[in-house]
Amino acid sequence: MNELLKIEDASRKNILYQIAQFISKAGYLSLSKVFVELPNTVKEIKDNNPKTVYLYSGLHKSLWETTGILVSLKQNGLLIPAVGMGDNLIKGEFFLKIVKKLRIFLVKRGTTRADLVNSAKLLKKYILSYMANGLDVMLFPEGTRKGIPSKGEYGGFFPTAFDAMLDYEKNKEIITKDNSLPAYDSYIIPFNVDYSRVREAFEMIREKNVPRTLKIWDSIKMLKHLRTIYVSYGEPINVKDHLDKTRKELSLYVRKKCTDLVKILPINIVATAVIESFKDKSSDDLNAIYFHIDKTIEKLLKYKKNFREFSTNEAPESIYKKVASYEKLFKSPKEKDIAYFKLYSNYIGHYLV
């Protein structure tokens, strides 16, 4: 029998959820300027067929995403999904009880192979259970924000979530019959978030190679205006159209859809130019930085549909000043801060290779 997990408080009609929703929406509206790019099909599919479930799958850059994505969906008339988070972010029985009421499920960060295998099995069961009950899920298949800060590239997508989606679609008839549940059509929605200021940028580059784990108190300390944020969703991926793929192939396919959504912002362009100026020892010469801004844009012209907040005919001085006006390290770039510049440059690094 395909036994599923019990879904706690599936209605979310509890005071803790209402409070969390109010706080998240207030922060979303007051501490950032958010632009949401959402294909009409994402909502149309749900409107036309209520028996549809989504797995929202995205790149992970900042803790903002764990609440910001949810508010962006709510603001656009979509249901708020259950959220998978690393168990290192929530400590203590009191907080564990709270997150269950908010429909957050914790993914164990294993340190041994046995731990990782058991964690993957539980994650798969979580996703299957939510899908079978008609509840959407949001996950970050990279499992961490450390890919860009430590390796200079986005991490691979762990295949467990996609294994669950394929399993549900292939064995839907058995799963629904064994658990007396209706059948749902399953889709994967790729997404990505881009920032003109990543709130924990300095926290992530503080320790060599690995960003430290951020707790709730860190989030409070980092409350500040995040400036412009772009939340981008891709076209829905109908899982039944990809049953010929292995879980690994599906994970690679979805990851590519997510990286294709990455927006190119002035801070990414200028950071790349600064790094190039370090290479030719000209970072103290603004004209050299302007030169590299032009060269960087030239390299990226085939991705101009992803340009935001600047135009291809804009003077490099103007683009530079946009960034230097709010990020002080750009006013007089120093090579000792190269990790900071690399962080913003590497967000678009896959377009530059």
Residue spans of the domains in the chain: they are 15-259, 266-352
Closest CA to 323 of 250, 255, 259, 272: 272
Q: Over range 67-92, report the average pLDDT.
A: 82
The residue among 105 and 221 whose pLDDT is bigger is 105
297 pLDDT higher than 90: yes
Cβ-proximal residues to 30 (8 Å cutoff; 6+ apart), any chain: none
Q: Is 353 helix (H, G, I), strand (E, B) or coil?
A: coil
Segment among 2-6, 54-58, 96-100, 145-149 with least mean pLDDT: 96-100
pLDDT above 80 for 263: yes
Q: For the chain, what percent of residues have pLDDT higher than 90?
A: 62
Quick check: 210 pLDDT over 50?
A: no
Taking the CA atoms of residue 47, residue 48, residue 49 and residue 50 in that order, the dihedral angle to the nearest 10 degrees is 20
In angstroms, the CA 176 to CA 156 distance is 32
The pLDDT, as a whole number, for residue 242 is 98
- The two structure tokens encoding residue 285: 């010469």
* DSSP E strands, the chain: 33-37, 52-58, 82-86, 104-107, 137-139, 185-195, 228-233, 237-238
Which backbone phi and psi does 54 adopt, to 5 degrees? -120, 140
Task: Provide the 3-class DSSP secondary structure of residue 136.
Answer: coil
pLDDT for position 255: 97
Instruction: Please state, in angstroms and as integers, the Cα–Cα distance from residue 67 to each residue in 63, 104, 187, 255, following that order.
Output: 8, 11, 21, 21
**What separation, in Å, do the N-terminal and C-terminal C-alpha atoms of the chain show?**
48
Residue range 202-213: average pLDDT? 63
Backbone angles phi, psi at 345, to 5 degrees: -70, -40
Q: Report the candidate in 54, 51, 105 with the shortest Cα–Cα distance to residue 79.
A: 54
* Mean pLDDT, residues 204-231: 64
Positive or negative, the Cα torsion across 76, 10, 56, 308?
positive
Average pLDDT for the chain:
87
Length of the chain measured in residues? 353
Q: pLDDT at residue 211 above 50?
A: no
Per-residue model confidence as pLDDT tens digits over 51-66: 999 999 999 998 888 8
Judge contact between 103 and 83, C-beta under 8 A: yes
Section 105-112 average pLDDT: 73
Angle subtended at Cα 41 by Cα 37 and Cα 45, rounded to the nearest 5 degrees = 135
- Asked whether the whole model's pTM tops 0.85, one would answer yes
**Distance between CA atoms of 91 and 9, rounded to whole angstroms?**
21
Q: Domain 15-259 - what CATH class?
A: alpha beta
Q: Residue 144: pLDDT band by 50, 70, 90 thresholds?
A: confident
Mapped onto helix, strand or coil, the DSSP state of residue 272 is helix
